[in-house]
Structure 1
C-alpha cells in the first residue's frame, strides 16, 4: 500500500471518530445557582444528620451539596479550604455520633494531594410551593 493512501485512510478514520466538542462545565457559583433554581433558603443550621443524607456532591471551588429525602438540599460553603474543592475529590471526616456540624473538619483528597476543609453553616433549600 502506498504511503499516501495509508495516510488518507488514517485521516478519514480519525475524522469519523471525532466527536462534537464537549459542553463547557459551569463554574462553581453558576452551577450552584442552576441547581438551586426554584428553591428558597431557610435559616442556616449548625448540623445535619448524616443518616438522612442520600447523596453528596461537590461544587468545584464553591460548596458541598447534601441531597436529603423529599428533595431538600443543604449547602455547606466551607469557611476554609473551599478553593481546593474539586468535583473528583474524596471527602473524609471524623465525626462524633451521626451528625456533621459547623466547624467540623474534613479532608478533600484527590490524586496529587489533599487539603483540609473547615465546614460552615448548612443552608437548607426547599422547593417553592406552586
Structure 2
C-alpha cells in the first residue's frame, strides 16, 4: 500500500500537467491581430490564385487567412462567418484556378467529416510585411 500512494500522486501529476501547460486561447479578433502583427493592409481584391496558396487558417467566427508567398490574404466572409470553426476543413468545389469573392466554401467537421455549414466569401485583403521589417 505504501508504494501505491506515490504512484497515485505521480499519475495525478501527469494527468494534470496538460491542463497546467495548455496555452490560453485568444479571442478571435486578438488572434487575427497577432497573426497580422507587423503587416500592412493593401487594396482588397476580388480573387486570389489557388495554385500559389500554400495554406489556409480559420479564425473562429471571424475570417479565413490564406498564405500566398509571404503575403497573408484575409477573407471576412459575407455570409456564414458565425459557422467558422478552426477545427473544420474547408471544401471548395471548383474547376477554376482562382478563389473569388463570389465563391462559397463548405465546412466539414475534421473528426466526423460531417457537413457543418458554409461561408460566402468576401473580398481578399492582402497583408504584407511593413518595409524595413
| 1:109 and 2:111 are equivalent in the alignment | no
Greater mean alpha carbon deviation, residues 78-87 or residues 6-15: 6-15
Q: Post-superposition shift, 1:109?
A: 1.1
Partner of residue 75, structure 1: 74
- RMSD of aligned residue pairs (Cα, Å): 1.6
Partner of residue 14, structure 1: 11
Instruction: Give 1 or 2 for the bigger CA radius of gyration.
Output: 1
Q: Post-superposition shift, 1:85?
A: 0.9
Q: Post-superposition shift, 1:6?
A: 6.3
Give CA-to-partner distance per residue, 1:93-126, whole Å, 9 cap, x none: 1224110100211101114641011000000011
Give CA-to-partner distance per residue, 1:76-102, whole Å, 9 cap, x none: 011111111111101001224110100
Unaligned runs of 5+ in 1: none
Instruction: Give yes or no for contact 2:106–2:115 (8 Å, CA) kept in 1.
Output: no
Partner of residue 37, structure 2: 37
TM-score, normalised by the number of residues in structure 1: 0.88
TM-score, normalised by the number of residues in structure 2: 0.86
Partners of 1:21 and 1:67 lie apart in 2 by 29
